[in-house]
Amino acid sequence: MGNLSTLWAACNDMALKQYKPTTPGRRGLVLVERSELHNGKPVKALTKGLTKKGGRNNHGRITARRRGGGAKRSYRMLDFKRRRFETATVERLEYDPNRSGFIALIKYGNGDLSYILAPQRLAPGDTVVAGDRVDVKPGNAMPLSSMPIGTIIHNVEMKPGKGGQIARSAGTYVQLVGRDQGYAILRLTSGEQRLVRAECMATVGAVSNPDN
């Protein structure tokens, strides 16, 4: 009983929301608190339509059974490449129904808007910048060759210019543990070590929504 109370105390410390069992579906329901996120619609110019798959492959045959329905949603186009080497200001954090982590709307000096993956400890009003050599601060992006050894990173490219592919879901991160002959050595949370070209871009910090 003591362990259970300790667990619930830990849950209360985190940004989790518990519900009273007013219906059978609400009994035991615990969700992530999202009150600090933007409550309106996304920026329409940064979204596009999302076709429902219904569990079907490119031949139209069902490959994942009993999948279908759900709420209609639009796809938010995120900047996974971070190749625009300018300073931007975080306008707001948003929920994205297409991924487990939160996203951040950033605004550049000329008024252009863009969506990026929101790292932990990023708040509206903060500034983020991408460049060849920038401060090691959550949300900033730079090549792996410019990062200090031991940096916690996410949204890591596997090929230069392709866009981030590693560590993009909620709470995930990898650690830069070394460099050797033009390659960066990354340690994944599974313990696996992987070699990636040092020119590849990555973003500082761990992905938001770790309670997921």
User: Percent of the chain, pLDDT > 90?
Assistant: 91
For 66-127, the DSSP string reads T-------EEE-B--S----SEEEEEEEE--TTSSS-EEEEEETTS-EEEEEPBTT--TT-E
Which whole-number Å values give the CA distances from 22 to 11, 33, 201, in the listed order?
Answer: 21, 19, 48
Q: What is the pLDDT of residues 25-65, one digit of tens each?
A: 999 999 999 999 999 999 999 999 999 999 999 999 999 99
Q: What is the pLDDT of residues 117-157, one digit of tens each?
A: 999 999 999 999 999 999 999 999 999 999 999 999 999 99
Which helix (H) or strand (E) covers residue 10, if one does? helix 2-13
Which pTM does this prediction carry?
Answer: 0.88
| Region 174-191 average pLDDT | 96
Question: How many CB atoms are located within 10 Å of the residue 58 CB?
Answer: 7
Q: Could you tell me the pLDDT band of residue 9, with boundaries at 50, 70 and 90?
A: very low
| Region 71-78 average pLDDT | 96
Between β-strands 156-157 and 164-166, what pairing exists: parallel, antiparallel or unpaired?
antiparallel
Token digits for 138?
């959550």
d(CA 198, CA 182): 6
- Give the residue among 79, 207, 201, 85 at the shortest CA–CA distance from 144: 201
Q: Report pLDDT for 49.
A: 95
- pLDDT surpasses 70 at 3: no
Beta strands in the chain (DSSP E): 16-18, 30-32, 47-49, 74-76, 87-94, 103-108, 113-117, 127-129, 141-143, 152-154, 156-157, 164-166, 174-180, 183-187, 193-197, 201-204
